Structure 1
Amino acid sequence: MMKGCNFNILKGTHVSIALLTLGFVTVMLWAWEKNPFLATLLLAQQNFRLPSSDCNYAKGRWVADSRRPFYSGFGCKQWLSGMWACRLTQRTDFSFEGYRWQPKYCKMAEFERFSFLRRMQDKTIAFIGDSLGRQQFQSMMCMASGGEESPEVEDVAREYGLVKPRGAKRPDGWVYRFPNTNTTILYYWSASLSDLVPINSTDRASDVAMHLDRPPAFLRRFLHRFDVLVLNTGHHWNRGKLTANRWVMHVNGKPNDNKELEDVRNAKNFTVHNVVRWLDSQLPSHPRLKTFFRTISPRHFHDGDWNTGGTCNNTVPLTGGSEVLQDESIDRVVESAVRGTKVKILDITAISQLRDEAHMSGYSIRPTQGINDCLHWCLPGVPDTWNELLIAQI
Structure 2
Amino acid sequence: MANGRKDDGYLKWRWKPNRCEVSRFDVGVVLEKLRGKRVVFVGDSLSRTQWESMICLLMNGVDDKTSVYEVNGNKISKKIRYLGVRFSLYNFTVEFYRSVFLVQIGSVPRHSPKRVRSTVKLDELDNVSSKWIDSDVLVFNTGHWWNRAKLFEMGCYFKVNGRLKLGMSTMAAYTTALNTWASWVENKIDTDRTRVFFRTFEGSHWSGPKGHTCKVTENPLVQSKSEYSEYRSQFSDIIREVVNNMTVPVTVMHVTPMGSYRSDAHVGIWSDNPTVPDCSHWCLPGVPDAWNEILFSYL
Q: TM-score, normalization: structure 2?
A: 0.84
1:258: how far off?
A: 7.3
The structure carrying a bigger helix percent of its residues is: 1
Native 8 Å contact 2:40 2:94 kept in 1: yes
1:216: how far off?
A: 1.1
Q: Determine helix, strand or coil for the equivalent of 2:67.
A: coil
Q: Determine helix, strand or coil for the equivalent of 2:159.
A: strand
1:173: how far off?
A: 2.2
> What pairs up with 1:277-288 in 2 under 5 angstroms?
277-283=183-189, 285-288=190-193
> What pairs up with 1:181-220 in 2 under 5 angstroms?
181-198=90-107, 207-219=117-129
Question: Is 1:241 aligned to residue 150 of structure 2?
Answer: yes
What one-letter code is carried by the residue in structure 1 that aligns with 2:270? Y
Residue equivalent to 1:250: 159
Residue equivalent to 1:88: 2
1:302: how far off?
A: 2.2
Residue equivalent to 2:113: none
Q: Determine helix, strand or coil for the equivalent of 1:176.
A: strand
Unaligned runs of 5+ in 1: 1-86, 201-205, 322-328
Native 8 Å contact 1:127 1:187 kept in 2: yes
Q: Determine helix, strand or coil for the equivalent of 1:213.
A: strand
Residue equivalent to 2:65: 150
Native 8 Å contact 1:311 1:372 kept in 2: yes
Q: Distance in 2 between matches of 1:99 and 1:277?
A: 38
> What pairs up with 1:367-378 in 2 under 5 angstroms?
367-368=274-275, 371-378=276-283
1:339: how far off?
A: 0.7
Q: Distance in 2 between matches of 1:338 and 1:257?
A: 25
Q: Distance in 2 between matches of 1:354 and 1:336?
A: 24
Question: Is 1:119 aligned to residue 33 of structure 2?
Answer: yes
Q: Alpha-carbon deviations, 1:42-95, whole Å to 9, x = none?
A: xxxxxxxxxxxxxxxxxxxxxxxxxxxxxxxxxxxxxxxxxxxxx212111110
1:271: how far off?
A: 0.8
Residue equivalent to 2:17: 103
> What pairs up with 1:130-149 in 2 under 5 angstroms?
130-146=44-60
User: 194, 197, 203: which is aligned to 1:289?
Assistant: 194
1:136: how far off?
A: 0.7
1:146: how far off?
A: 2.1
Native 8 Å contact 2:199 2:255 kept in 1: yes
The structure carrying a bigger strand percent of its residues is: 2
Q: Alpha-carbon deviations, 1:98-124, whole Å to 9, x = none?
A: 022222233432112222111011111
What one-letter code is carried by the residue in structure 2 that aligns with 1:312? K
Q: 1:207 to 1:305 in 2, by over 3 A?
A: closer
Q: Determine helix, strand or coil for the equivalent of 1:337.
A: helix
Q: Distance in 1 between matches of 2:61 and 2:298?
A: 23
Native 8 Å contact 2:27 2:61 kept in 1: no
What one-letter code is carried by the residue in structure 2 that aligns with 1:319? V
What one-letter code is carried by the residue in structure 2 that aligns with 1:256? L
Stretch of structure 1 that moved more, 232-241 or 178-187: 232-241
Native 8 Å contact 2:84 2:94 kept in 1: yes
Q: Determine helix, strand or coil for the equivalent of 2:128.
A: helix
Unaligned runs of 5+ in 2: 110-115, 225-231
Residue equivalent to 2:112: none
> What pairs up with 1:271-350 in 2 under 5 angstroms?
271-283=177-189, 285-306=190-211, 309-320=212-223, 330=233, 331-341=236-246, 342-350=249-257
Q: Distance in 1 between matches of 2:181 and 2:78?
A: 28
Native 8 Å contact 2:84 2:96 kept in 1: yes
User: 170, 190, 212: which is aligned to 1:264?
Assistant: 170
Q: 1:286 to 1:222 in 2, by over 3 A?
A: farther
Q: Determine helix, strand or coil for the equivalent of 1:385.
A: helix
Instruction: Decide which structure has the larger Cα Rg and report it.
Output: 1
Q: 1:188 to 1:244 in 2, by over 3 A?
A: farther
Root-mean-square deviation over aligned CA pairs:
2.8
Q: Distance in 2 between matches of 1:305 and 1:312?
A: 13
Q: TM-score, normalization: structure 1?
A: 0.65
Q: 1:257 to 1:365 in 2, by over 3 A?
A: closer
1:172: how far off?
A: 1.1
Q: Determine helix, strand or coil for the equivalent of 2:100.
A: coil
1:178: how far off?
A: 0.3
What one-letter code is carried by the residue in structure 2 that aligns with 1:363? W
